[in-house]
Amino acid sequence: MRGPHNIWRLIRTGATFERTGALKVILDATDAPRSMKIALRSLVWPFQWLGIKGDQSRPPVTRAITALGPAYIKFGQILSTRPDVVGQELSDQLQVLQDKLPPFSREQAIEMIEADLGRNIDDVFSEFSEPVAAASIAQVHKAVKRETGEAVAVKVLRPGIERAFRKDVDAFYLAAWFIQRFLPSSRRLRPQDVVAHFEGVVLGELDLRLESSSAAEFHANTINDAGFYVPKVDWALSSRRVMTLEWLEGITASNLSEISAAGHDRKKLGSVVLQMFLSHALRDGFFHADMHQGNLKIMPNGDVAALDFGIMGVLDVYTRRVYAEIIFGFIRKDYQRIAEVHFEAGYVPANQDVDQFARALRAVGEPIFGMDATQISMGRVMSYLLEVTERFGMATRTELILLQRTMVVVEGVARSLDPKINIWEVSQPVVESYIKESIGPKALARDLGRTAIVLSRFGPKLPALAESILMAQSQGAEPAQQMSSARQAMFLVFGGGVCAAIGAIVAIVVS
């Protein structure tokens, strides 16, 4: 499908970007070469009359994207998490992209629910409202379950959205191919990889079973988090195109006047939002990666409730420990240790100078720590840090980019609730607690025990494995090679036995 029939779609897209002024903004933000700017604008200028005008009250980029429809809106949202690709300024513009669209009819939603669940709507719900929220991919209705009287939120995909997205993604691939083929200077931005990343994210969001799974995992992880709540998934009423969640009453986090009028402690709420994000990222390695005000509600009991689980971030155990040590290093102003952590993790190439890197980090941290405590931004620190590491040859790590991007959003939410919040004071207990549990002596013993236990499971196979190594290596091998194979076999048997013994001892001690 990525063929010539998509050319018309690309012409209309380019015409819209030129007509709204968005094309110039994007080319400037991405530092496109002058030749690329001239070539692209010359190509689309004659067709700009075919472009959509859009809402002239919006900035050029968001005006063009919202005019082009759901796939472009979602593409813009995802690109907002990749300042390494589009640049910080454009990323900030895309971050505030609104994806509110006209809802589709209640009757169409009912038709999709009945088809997907295989049940009559009246047998399932005693009440089913008009749309209460509509976005680029789906919309939400409030309903009441007939059997229990429980209020639920029913999320339904837009009719035909899968087919529409496939068509637009095909056009994106064609555009990326043209750009990469005829503008070699653009290859550093990896256009086709960017489109592939977008396609993977969207395919996940177009299957609401995956979002239901994310919501369920997030709920299980946070069930004991005081002051934070994630709605329960109703699996019996969820499917590929329908997701049913517990309905939560509350005030949207952006409505500060209502939050204050309801008597909620905004200072406490700001701390909860920040500490919960850090806790989920460090403790669980699974965090809400789209925690803007629209996806947060303040419940009547004062808890912060999270909604919309289409974009979630994942961090492995090692990355979490590195991230925690970096934050803790900045809290303690230990720039040498921050530098060493980057080298130990392999983020910065070994041929760089660790002392010079530490001095560069000091230049990042000291000016910020000279500011008033209420103006210190952890998101800014992480953003500057990524700039420094890039200068020292650090390769792009998308998981850290997403983490840093979400950190900026969460900071914004926390500061809107409590303008005087001290980000570092609020963060320090969470980070210190994680480091104590995950990097100290107890954690070392636990890790050693787990490693040894895993190795010990292969104990029964070690003799046969050693024998196969000796047989394979000794057939036709030189005497020196045979001796090496024998040493390998002895190491396997002896090492396996030692690991089994250590595993057993450490497991008993730690337990």
290 catalytic, yes or no? yes
Tokens in use for 30?
């991405």
Cα–Cα distance, 27 to 36 (Å, whole number): 8
User: Which is catalytic among the residues 168, 170, 290, 418?
Assistant: 290
Cα–Cα distance, 16 to 20 (Å, whole number): 6
21 and 48 Cβ atoms separated by less than 8 Å: no
Cα–Cα distance, 270 to 302 (Å, whole number): 12
319-352 burial: b if 16+ Cβ within 10 Å, else e: bbbbbbbbbbbbbeebbebbbbbbbebebbeeeb
Query: Which residue intervals of 439-478 are DSSP H helices?
Result: 441-456, 462-474
- In the 3-class helix/strand/coil scheme, how is 251-282 assigned residue by residue? EECCCHHHHHHCCCCHHHHHHHHHHHHHHHHH
Cα–Cα distance, 311 to 193 (Å, whole number): 18
Unique residue bearing structure tokens 């300024």: 89
- In the 3-class helix/strand/coil scheme, how is 188-221 assigned residue by residue? HHCHHHHHHHHHHHHHHHCCHHHHHHHHHHHHHH
Tokens in use for 510?
């730690």
Tokens in use for 308?
């919309």
73 and 58 Cβ atoms separated by less than 8 Å: no
**DSSP state for residue 236 in the 8-state scheme:** G
* Number of helices and strands in the chain (H, E): 23, 10
Tell me which residue of 231, 240, 218 sits closest to 138, measured CA to CA. 240
3-state secondary structure of 286: strand
List Cα–Cα distances, 438 to 76, 188, 218, 294, 433, in angstroms: 37, 37, 21, 33, 9
Cα–Cα distance, 315 to 433 (Å, whole number): 18
Cα–Cα distance, 305 to 249 (Å, whole number): 9
3-state secondary structure of 374: helix
Tokens in use for 355?
């002392």
Chain-centroid distance of CA 474 in Å reads 50
Supply the residues annotated as catalytic: 290
